[in-house]
Structure 1
């Protein structure tokens, strides 16, 4: 598990991403809650989710082609700076009482477009930092950082929503990007440039990636699981109505459930990081366990059942996703020969 942390560059990146991911989760909690408060209609949460994640669905292959042809460190400096700017813009708008539904949706769309490139670049950049021999360790520790942020971010957001207002959640997120930007300036990965010389345009590269995914039975089987697991993280859509309408709790309850997910996700990520080489059978078993935990939470009669249900969802889903990610990255023999 500690293979990846032996490298200075990965440690810098790891702690920087822990900070920025916490800020991003805090902003997501605040934005979803504000939309529900502004509209009293959960349909608008669907619209906001489409704005935030639709670009990834539609433009993901082209983003992968761009990342493959670019210097990941420089690309991340641009994307993370833009994300910081959007967060600080939201904070200023909130300070001057300018928050409107269309503003939140427009900035969600801008964030979604940037995230399409940023999230892809971050995943590849991890491999640039640690090399092929520590991929499983790096993926697991990456999930540790994300799930620690799911405890820190929503907990801070819940406290700020209850005491200071959503504008401070945006300030927190904007300032949180300082750590990863500092890390990116300091990092000099040995393999941070394009993985291969560009021989075609982005469209050709996107088609190449889709063709490879279709020809590989393993990747073809993992893609539907990936799509289903993406629904787990649309918590800005599902949790506010559950908390407000079914469980009768407020913004603090929303933050509590988000934090419960992160609490469960931490051991799930550690189990994935410390596990032996993943197998398709283990991925299938973890997918079924995740389904059972989600059903338990969805049918919860009160907050006291929902909280342990969300802990179970965090444990099983993160273990499942990290294991599936490692299996996908090890699909090509040269990539996993050292692991």
Structure 2
């Protein structure tokens, strides 16, 4: 299963560290895919990254695989709920899938920094395809038990430990620094567009012939990204120098993030929201079965509506030439407030109508955080930085998933959903206050493609420079 959940910065006016992008090289390409000189930065159009051949092959493969991913996600959640009748069991399944990221996520980043990312993706994507096929065989043969789903979810998580940071950082090698934000946004749009098809297809398959066929399709879908990787022109990749094996590289990555506020605080906020705010498999299955007394078709519809908003958020982010830290925090706050509103909705139709705005706010937050962190990172550290980013985003699920599942089972679906939204909103406000107190920070710091990392500058120095 492709697990792309799938990053720019500018110095404040008073800094003098105007340097070219860290990983700009002689083969860097502009949005047309033609060679561009070092330091070239062109404002991207909505689909400018797709003009680059290697990224286009990657995106086409991911489109197929992502559709299979969403089919498996829906089928797996429904299978576990059908076998156990428990939201906690759904939460445990999700937790097991992301537990390896929590335990070993930083090691995945070290591996991504040391090795050829294209070769690593061959291994990880192949492994994920095999896992999907094994689950299909168990389900279609009628021998599947919840323990099998737990074990395969954990195995998938182990593959994801390496796949996620590798796939995230491979984007910059395909498109170059000037196009990272656009490519990250299109990756998100790609993943969420598949969500428009996958859940609906899974709902039909589950109702008609059973979820095993969804698992089979997902396993076979990994052939598409593998073919795309084979067809890429390696001479056109913007490869950065690999990091040599050495001691203390995990600690070095943590110290690097801790010393850069433009990396640290987006990652902190991502950790809270990823742990407590993105537990939709738990909440939507509970609302579907317990609150609305409906079946798999309704569950698929709710996921479809959320995907509509997510695609809109990703495409809007792809058009945005620059964004601000306050927009990231504002999107996080809106995400939490909308979750609370949905949880308290008196009717199914209002609940369903709020799925799209929730998807839009959540995706806007995620894209801005992801792309800004990627571009604010040195290429030699990017794998470790993004592994930490993904570790706190999806690795927190083993903590948040069971907690939210237990709250949902104990006090009901509405209380569980309110709890997730409230924690997300409070975290957004807290991070905003911290940023505002860091030596009188300017809240309108721009995040522009191909520029050095953000530096937080006190207002007094800004006035002196002016």
What is the TM-score when the length of structure 1 is the normalising length? 0.94
Q: Distance in 1 between matches of 2:222 and 2:238?
A: 21
> Could you say what secondary structure the match of 2:115 adopts?
coil
Q: Does the CA contact (< 8 Å) of 1:53 and 1:112 recur in 2?
A: yes
Tell me: CA distance 1:337–1:305, structure 2 relative to 1, closer, same or farther (3 Å): closer
* Aligned position for 2:244: 198
Assess, with a 3 A threshold, how the Cα gap between structure 1 residues 100 and 192 changes in structure 2: closer, same or farther: farther
Aligned residues: 337
8 A contact 2:114–2:245 mirrored in 1: no
Pick from 137, 141, 146 the counterpart of residue 182 of structure 2: 137
Aligned-pair distance for 1:337? 6.5
- Distance in 1 separating the partners of 2:233 and 2:347: 50
Equivalent residue, structure 2, for 1:222: 266
1:241-285 superposed Cα distances (whole Å, 9 cap, x missing partner): 121112222111111111111111111001111112222111111
Task: State the 1:31 CA deviation.
Answer: 0.9
CA apart distance, 1:192: 6.8
Unaligned runs of 5+ in 2: 1-45, 383-447, 452-466
What do residues 278-312 of structure 1 show as CA deviations (whole Å, max 9, x unaligned)?
A: 22111111111111221122222332122211111
Equivalent residues in 2 for 1:213-252, closer than 5 Å = 213-231=257-275, 232-252=277-297
Q: Quick check: 1:2 aligned with 2:47?
A: yes
Counterpart CA distance in 2 for 1:194 and 1:97 is 48
Measured in 2, the distance between the counterparts of 1:30 and 1:161 equals 7
Q: Is the 8 A contact 2:62 2:190 kept in 1?
A: yes
Which shifted more, 76-85 or 1-10?
Answer: 1-10
Aligned residue in 2 for 1:338: 450
Change (3 A) 1:327 1:338: closer
**Greater shift in the superposed pair: 48-57 or 190-199:** 190-199
- Report how far residue 199 of structure 1 moved: 4.4
1:207, CA displacement in angstroms? 1.4
Q: Secondary structure at the match of 1:35?
A: helix
Asked if the contact 1:279/1:327 (under 8 Å) is kept, the reply is no
- Greater helix fraction, Structure 1 or Structure 2: 1
1:156: how far off? 0.9
Q: Could you list the runs of 5+ residues in structure 1 that have no partner in the other structure?
A: none
CA contact (8 A) 1:25 1:154 kept: yes
- TM-score normalized with structure 2 length: 0.69
Matches within 5 A, 1:53-92: 53-92=98-137
Distance, in Å, in 1 between the alignment partners of 2:201 and 2:65 is 13
Structure 2 counterpart of 1:105, from 134, 142, 150: 150
Quote how far apart the aligned CAs of 1:196 are: 2.9
CA 1:192–1:58 in 2, change beyond 3 Å: closer, same or farther?
Answer: farther
Equivalent pair of 1:136/1:273 in contact (CA under 8 Å): yes
Displacement of 1:229 in angstroms is 3.3
How big is the shift at 1:35? Answer: 0.8
Structural RMSD (CA): 1.8
| Distance 1:194-1:133 versus aligned 2 partners, 3 A rule | closer
C-alpha separation in 1, matches of 2:107 and 2:205: 37
